[in-house]
Homo-oligomer: A and B are copies of this chain.
Amino acid sequence: MRSDRLGESLLPKRYALPIFASDPLSSVAYATQEILIVLTLAGTAFLYLAPWLAATVVVLLVTVVLSYRQVVRAYPSGGGDYEVAMKNHGPAAGLVVASALLVDYVLTVAVSVSAGTDNVISAFPSLNEHRVLIAVALVGLLAAANLRGLRESGRAFALPTYLFISGILVMLVTGFIRYFFTPDGLVAESSGYTVIPEPGYSDLAGLALVLFALRAFASGCTALTGVEAIANGVPAFRPPKSKNAATTLALMGGIAATMFAGVTALALLADVKYTEFTCDLVGFQGDCETDPQRTVIAQLAAAVFGGDGSLGFYVIQAATALILILAANTAFNGFPLLGSVLAQDRYMPRQLHTRGDKLAYSNGILLLAGFAALLIVAFDASVSRLIQLYIIGVFTSFTIGQWGMVRHWNREIGLTDDGPERSRMRRSQTINFVGGSLTSVVLVIIVVTKFTHGAWLVLVSMPLLIVLMKAISKHYSHVADQLAPDTDSRTLPSKVHAVVLVSKVHKPTLRALAFARATRPDQLTALTVNVDDEDTRGLQADWERYDIPVPLTVVESPYREITRPVLDYVKAIRRESPRELVVVFVPQYVVGHWWENVLHNQSALRLRARLQFQPGVMITTVPWQLESSVGRDDGDARGAGPAPGDLRRGFTEDDVESTPYG
């Protein structure tokens, strides 16, 4: 990393906002709807709760944003809640956060894609029967794009995000004007429907009513998902990084709060009805068993801009679907980032940390897409069913992170004597304390109200992930213990015995012999295995004919196979002189096409696989490049391009292109 160039290539705030805000902003597309879905379980009797619940969500959102502004200032390295938990509560808490975030990424993909599909279907209702297929195909497309090396780019992401923000704001303003200043007012297509309460929800009172309201509130808390993204992306900001990140966070919070409050208000004014079961809607036009309700956003857009056919309606639907897809895409970028951090701490395979191994990223992308697709299929791409699982992870990481910050400030305050500094810290601590308290309460509410609705799945998955990560960590430290250098490990072997494997007298064999001789071993054996008497006699004749200056040793093969006799020969050398180093030279064909491997090299591969278990034996591959392999060495530039999550780490395009190797 050349630090002199870093400044120029990092993200200005106007590009950082679309990159990091597509996830939190996109939740505006479903948060209001999720509150309505719960409330309308009891008919329209409790819709009056909606403004209060929305207001509470906005207060919570503001609190969480303020809390995270403390995080980005205190931990500018981009570790986010995971780092905060690790440093202040220790590894156990860190792993809980990590598992919560991993689950969260899968659900971000599943929920965002499902919601995007909903909004596509709202524009083109005939697609409804293919709902699950469309959602799975979108996940597949995202996975494919990221496998191919789709690069996050501020410029490309800016258009849909700003289009969504401005579209929703224009819709809100136009909607309020219509409602207050036009004679017809604002009438959603579902305003005339009556809602039949579900059995058991008609006479809610006392504790049941409180739980019911809390459940609706918990659903509304989906508006907060994705807020933590900026805390993980501080390194991508231009300096002063923390300050710019904090400003962007505030900006994002303000926009999200405005949009969420506005959409909720407008939906209530326009009298939108949205129920979990379409057949609870009396007056619904169409077959309530099969036809879909249109999303709240779609109903508002239609009401505001004058019906389904209007340009405004299509623009809003397109922008909404697009930003939801972008939100899903952020998970594909956030996942490798988290994987890298976890790998650095040895909780994930280490190749997730080293950039070179694209294979590891590819596996991550496939896992993420696979689990998301599984959830989509299992839950019929239903946003309201998936959402039950979503926010547990989010609020787990919120809560642990905020309490970690409280502890962080405690420690920091103890380290300074500067009065104003201490009182500034006390203020920050208070913010985090309030944030932590609120999110703790919300987390309890979520677990209680959502557990039976699917959240148990998440509460089962997280411990499993934690166990897996602990096992990986244990494996690595066990290996590290084995590998620690001791006095013995630097002893030089006394002699080198080279063994060149020979099957025929041809160029690869001659090259292997020449190379082996060039290394001037103390002893050099050309070894062949007698699988077929006739072939062996031919080889011996050729050996004499070409006057090869190394004696040819023939070993017998009782089972007509190659590996074991060689292995036995090598073992015998080691038995006789244990301090002697054996170097086995294996000529190997290098082919240009995968199918050529079917025709060559099988024995060499097997032999190498077995020889490596012998201590004191090195295996030297002497490659022979067949014609078909020419020009293949740089054929694929795997590992040489940008990888998912690079932008978020502050590894940008300009940066790598400026290197002499680019």
Query: Which A residues have a C-beta under 8 Å from some C-beta of B?
Result: 1, 349-351, 354-357, 359-360, 472, 475-476, 478-480, 482-486, 489-493, 495-496, 504-508, 510-511, 513-515, 517-521, 531, 533, 546, 557-565, 567-568, 581, 583, 585, 588-590, 596, 598-600, 602-603, 606, 608, 610-615, 617-627, 629, 632-633, 639-641, 651, 656, 659-662
Q: Are A619 and B621 in contact (CB under 8 A)?
A: yes
* A615: B residues at CB distance < 8 A: 625
Residues of B contacting A478 with CB < 8 Å?
627
Bound complex: CA of A184 vs CA of B131, how far in Å?
A: 71
Are the C-beta atoms of B559 and A355 separated by less than 8 Å? yes
- Closest chain B residue to A636, Cβ basis: B610
Q: How far is the CA of A389 from the CA of B495 in the complex (A)?
A: 65
Closest-by-CB residue of B relative to A601 is B351
Q: Knowing A482-B627, A508-B483, A659-B558, say if A613 contacts B632 (CB, 8 Å).
A: yes
Query: What's the least CB distance linking A625 to chain B, in Å?
Result: 6
Residue in chain B with minimal CB distance to A475: B599
**Main SS of the interface on chain A?**
mixed
- For A640, list chain B residues within 8 Å (CB): 559, 561, 564
Give Cα distance in the complex from A613 to B635, angstroms. Answer: 11
Q: When the two chains form their complex, are residues A515 and B561 in contact, meaning their CB atoms are under 8 A apart?
A: no
A356-B606, A490-B513 given. 20 additional CB < 8 A pairs?
A349-B602, A354-B560, A356-B531, A356-B557, A356-B559, A357-B561, A483-B508, A486-B507, A489-B507, A491-B514, A492-B518, A515-B618, A559-B640, A564-B661, A583-B620, A608-B621, A612-B621, A613-B623, A617-B623, A620-B621
Contacts of A618 in B (CB 8 A): 515, 585, 620-623
Q: Specify which of B360, B489, B598 is in contact with A511 (CB 8 Å cutoff).
A: B489
Q: With A and B bound together, what is the CA distance between A354 and B606 in angstroms?
A: 13
Tell me if B606 and A357 are in contact (CB < 8 A): yes
Q: Which residues of B contact A482 (CB under 8 A)?
A: 507, 626-627
- Distance in Å from the Cβ of A77 to the closest Cβ of chain B? 12
- Residues of the B chain whose Cβ atoms lie less than 8 Å from the Cβ of A507: 482-486, 489
CB distance from A355 to the nearest CB of B (A): 3
Minimal beta-carbon separation of A209 from chain B (angstroms): 51
**Is B562's CB under 8 angstroms from A354's CB?**
yes
Q: 19 pairs across A/B with beta carbons < 8 Å?
A: A1-B533, A350-B600, A354-B560, A354-B603, A355-B531, A359-B602, A479-B589, A482-B626, A485-B506, A490-B514, A492-B518, A493-B514, A493-B515, A559-B641, A561-B640, A563-B639, A565-B661, A608-B621, A614-B623
Q: Which residues of B contact A613 (CB under 8 A)?
A: 590, 623, 625, 629, 632-633
A359-B602, A485-B546 given; A561·B621 CB < 8 A = no
Q: Is the CB of A599 within 8 A of B476?
A: yes
Q: How far is the CA of A357 from the CA of B485 in the complex (A)?
A: 39
In the complex, A618→B613 CA distance in Å? 20
CA distance A564 to B514 in the complex (A): 28
Q: How far is the CA of A170 from the CA of B475 in the complex (A)?
A: 68
